[in-house]
Amino acid sequence: MNSLVARAPWLERFWRAAQRWAIAWWRIMDLGAVVLVLLASPSSWGRHARARMALQIVRDTLPILLGFTVLAALISLVLTRIVVVTAFSYGLSRYALEMVVRVLVLELIPLTAALFVAMRTTIPSGARVAELRRLRRMPGTQFVRTEVLPRAVAGVYASVTLAALSCVVGLLMAYIGVYGANLAGFAGYTRMFGQVFTPQITLVFFLKTLFFSLAVALIPLAGGLHAHERHGSAPPSAGGGSLARMFAVLLLIETISLMGNYY
């Protein structure tokens, strides 16, 4: 095999790329396993550790919560209006609200929340981890416990919180966009909501939101944690490869959720 690779430069490049790909995904899974083990360890829940984790959650969630909620409300109103007007012009107004809920709440808001958290929180956290890893000399497990674990938990919490709150706001804006600020359509709206959120779709929605949050929390941090191994002297960046892997995972999760909902 080595002699064949030596005679074919393109095969050597392919082999090295495959090795880098496998190592990168192994590091992501390894970091996820280490984070789960540390979360289950009583030593990770001491007073100082809890305070550090709570502070990181507040820092990563609070600054983006209001802005994203307002953005979700505006997008919900605009999308609801577009769908309602379009459906009315084709004589399909009875399906407009259900379409809005399916497209907006089930698909767009969780994905948008995950991407928003990634851009505003977890990707900068990955860059910060890369910088701290280069500057600080401490054992790997201790570094993960003190620097990576709080950021991973905060990323998951921020993504789930933004998705849950924005879904509630989106449902409220969809109702207002169709019925106005009154309770005239509340009975029909709740009945439609129950028809859309069946147990199967609710489970898929919950799992999708959870895996979105895990992806945007762990992948940039794994890239930052091992950045020094790629560059020798790590720059303050999580790496373009980490971003590509994160987007690929989000796309894969979204595709699987669509298959689970509609097939």
Q: What is the mean pLDDT of each run of 10 residues along the chain (263 residues)?
A: 56 78 85 88 83 92 92 90 85 81 89 93 89 73 86 94 93 87 86 89 94 93 73 46 87 92 81
* Distance of alpha carbon 213 from alpha carbon 118, whole angstroms: 9
Long-range contacts, stretch 184-193, CB < 8 angstroms, 24+ apart: 189/97, 192/97, 192/98, 192/101, 193/101
Q: Could you report the per-residue pLDDT of 51-63, keeping only the tens digit for each? A: 989 999 999 999 9
* Distance of alpha carbon 247 from alpha carbon 250, whole angstroms: 5
% of the chain surpassing 70 pLDDT: 89
Q: Note the pLDDT of residue 231.
A: 46
Q: Note the pLDDT of residue 244.
A: 86
Amino acid, res. 89: S
Q: What is the DSSP letter of 41?
A: -
Give, to the nearest 10 degrees, the angle between helix 109-117 and helix 47-89.
Answer: 140
Residues 220 and 125: beta-carbon distance below 8 Å = yes
Q: Could you report the per-residue pLDDT of 92-113, keeping only the tens digit for each? A: 777 888 888 888 888 899 999 9
